[in-house]
Amino acid sequence: MTEVSEILMSVLSTIRVPRPGDRVHKDECAFSFASPESEGGLYVCMNSFLGYGSKYVDRHHAKTGQRAYLHITRTRKTQKEDDPNSGSGDPPKKKPTRLAIGIEGGFDVDQEQYEEEVKVVLFPDRQEVTSEDLASMPDVVRERVSLSMAGLQAADSVSHALQVQQWDGEVRQESKYAAELKQLDNGVKIPPSGWKCEVCDLQENIWMNLTDGKVLCGRRYFDGSGGNNHALLHYQQTGYPLAVKLGTITPDGADVYSYDEDDMVLDSKLPEHLSHFGIDMMTMEKTERTMTELEIAVNQRVGEWEVIQESGTTLRPMWGPGLTGMKNLGNSCYLNSVMQVLFTIPDFQTKYVSNIDKVFAEAPSDPTQDFKTQVAKLGYGLLSGEYSKPAPDPGDDPSASTEPRGDQVGIAPRMFKALVGRGHPEFSTNRQQDAQEFLLHFINMVERNCRSGMNPSEAFRFLVEEKIVCQQSQKAKYTQRVDYIVQLPVPMDQATNMEELQEAERRRDEAESSGAPPPAVTRAQIPFAACLAALSEPETLTDFWSSAVQAKTTATKTTRFASFPDHLVIQIKKFTFGLDWVPKKLDVSIDVPDTLDLSTLRAMGQQPGEELLPEVAPPPLMTPDVEVKAPVLDDSTVSQLCEMGFPLEACRKAVYYTGNTGIDAAMNWVMGHMDDPDFSAPLVLPGSSSAPGTTPTESVPEEHLATIVSMGFSRDQATRALRATNNVLERAVDWIFSHLDDLESMDVSEGGRSEGGSEASREPPPGPRVRDGPGKYELFAFISHMGSSTMCGHYVCHIKKDQQWVIFNDQKVCASEKPPKDLGYLYFYRRVVE
């Protein structure tokens, strides 16, 4: 028996064969972005199935004693040109005909081809064993090692399962209304052509309701084109759910939309439904663009996209430390933009990158599931410059010398995205998300994982002081809350080009009436000072319950900064709701300044001679009983809010906290609290830690308690959080971090005294730790969004590096020539130290 076979025999018990459900990390190193394509390849532990680059595999061997690793290396094949007449070396790209990725006819995604080589490597001497070598080894060794090698090669890697391989935006489901759709016998017959809206005479984007045959125009798009919403309004008035787009009907089908299901759908009885109104599907020809074709056109259109991405100029690629691109994993540009900005902030660099060796040394046995490790890995990948290299052109010979194309090798944050999105209903998907919501989600995770030691999210944390003055008694009430982002309203009535906007509206109306194409969009010019004034001006509260007069009255609320953070994040509230509660984006240009002085917005606190409102609670909205029971709520108001798409618990809280005063007050509460971390959490009544449907004595799962206690909370605090969220662990963790002030002041728990001794011996509970300083700032980064909604479109960020603006557009990192500071969505300022 050879030395190698003896070693394999001695470690045979540590070599496992992957089973269904095992997590195999064979595409990415746990500590770096090394992959089988990287220099040195990837080493996969044949026991834990974790992958390690050549830089970290010795560390894993020394720490665990594991000796057998499957070494995987991949070499990219040279791709031949499809078009021999192409002088560029690149095959001509086909125009997309399907709203899809990774399938025939869809948007092109480069599928690089690789040659793969695998062998077993034995540490510490790195002795290599190939499949051919196994043939001469004892049967027990050959069988076990061969099965493990084959299993690892056949297994889907974790990153592969998470990566978008194929997406088809045209796959539609059968409508639940199609089979039993009721059609009115009203004698309506639709001609084969010449349709126009029965309300506004529009002749494009025309839809026929399949219940009553009404012919009406479709929705108005965010840029002013499309229709006038008459088909939608008809559904809202009648409830007739299905409509077909006239002009898209062919013998093969048509565009059918379900208003109730809010999606394009299939109607298996479409020929029958059309025949009811005299339309012979087999003789119809296509005369209108389908919704798919329209969406493809939008994805290829220039405008806001061109300006924000600086597409009109030739941008100079940049390389080096801090200039690393990030691959788009399928609508992950929101994550890429946020993390690029965060790792320009010293607090995040110090916490996760400066002591990366210590972070990695303290990593648990599975570093892929450790938040601190994966954030440090991402930060080092972005800042080190190791991955800031030109990407090879797939059409070129790898050995040939070529000019940089702008794209980088960059990093693909698959492990990071999977970890921060785990358990979240939105961030765990491959759908587009709101960058502001992700920023708050990530800050929440940082808070959760930095209960002890340095907390980099303190760089954003500040205190807001709200002052409410009762207009009847002139007495005041002061409250403070913690926040991380300043949300700046957009006062459209303050546009400086109002006459131009009115003229554009007149031209659009003329185009609609004449059937001409809509004119170019005119963007509203809003002064930044007007946005700041809208934030700071007093707000009138019409249904304020005054403890001084023991009744509802009018009050004014002013909001000021009780502290100024080191880094200030400003969100421009471009996304709003129309009168029909349909989300829309405000197309505005705001002259955001490079420097900002907010000193005049500092809170002053209670003024000399000013009287405070008495600390008396309003009458409880609950049944008079010994025990606290569910509040008496107006069910009709709750139902109306739910029908608008808001979560049930949020609707219940809106009605409760507005005292059953009607839908308008409840809706205002909803709109003012949509960004609260506990917006959807169950309503918790005063004097009770229980959520509706639970009792104070209801048991909580021990494993959930242990998980929360391990984060540094007391058992009493963990119990309270779980009871407030029906024992759902993920919600309990979010709840506990949004109620830190309440929890830190807990003196007595449900079961008796909490930790810390008697009340007399306890120190006053510390408030949230905030930094403070002058309110003078300079702009250093901004994130821009392109598209009609946060749920679609694209994000890029611009960051100021050594007095040079740099655009980070996924894998493209270039010097910015015309940073579109007026079109940003999130702006990042840092304090100016005088």
Residues acting as catalytic residues: 333, 794
CB-count burial class (<10 Å; 0-12, 13-18, 19+) for 615: exposed
Residue type at position 826: L
b/e per residue 643-662 (b: at least 16 CB within 10 A): eeebeebbbbbbbbebbeee
CB atoms within 10 A of CB 475: 18
> If we measure between CA atoms, which residue out of 689, 739, 731 comes closest to residue 713?
739
Query: Helix 435-449 crosses helix 729-738 at what angle (to 10 degrees)?
Result: 90
* Residue linked to tokens 């056949």: 154
CB-count burial class (<10 Å; 0-12, 13-18, 19+) for 57: buried
CB-count burial class (<10 Å; 0-12, 13-18, 19+) for 752: exposed
Torsion sign, CA atoms 678, 682, 684, 689: negative
Q: Name, in order, each residue with C-beta under 8 angstroms of 342's C-beta and a sequence gap of 6 or more.
A: 348, 442
The rounded distance, in Å, linking the Cα atoms of 638 and 275 is 41
> If we measure between CA atoms, which residue out of 325, 421, 304 comes closest to residue 381?
325
The three state secondary structure string of 509-572 is HHHHHHCCCCCCCCCEEECHHHHHHHHHCCEEEEEEEECCCCEEEEEEEEEEECCCCCEEEEEE
The rounded distance, in Å, linking the Cα atoms of 730 and 769 is 25
CB 121 within 8 A of CB 41: no
488 phi, psi to nearest 5 deg: -100, 120
The rounded distance, in Å, linking the Cα atoms of 805 and 818 is 9
The rounded distance, in Å, linking the Cα atoms of 303 and 520 is 10
The rounded distance, in Å, linking the Cα atoms of 674 and 620 is 24
The rounded distance, in Å, linking the Cα atoms of 809 and 822 is 18
**What does the DSSP 8-state code read for residue 449?**
H
CB-count burial class (<10 Å; 0-12, 13-18, 19+) for 558: middle
CB 234 within 8 A of CB 216: yes
CB-count burial class (<10 Å; 0-12, 13-18, 19+) for 187: exposed
CB 259 within 8 A of CB 175: no
Q: How many helices (H) and strands (E) does the chain have?
A: 24, 31
Edge-to-edge order in the sheet of strand 173-174:
173-174, 263-266, 256-258, 242-245, 206-209, 215-217
The rounded distance, in Å, linking the Cα atoms of 637 and 608 is 43
Edge-to-edge order in the sheet of strand 68-76:
51-53, 42-45, 68-76, 114-122, 127-129
> If we measure between CA atoms, which residue out of 484, 492, 592, 470 comes closest to residue 541?
470
What's the chain's length in residues? Answer: 834
The rounded distance, in Å, linking the Cα atoms of 639 and 164 is 38
The rounded distance, in Å, linking the Cα atoms of 442 and 432 is 16
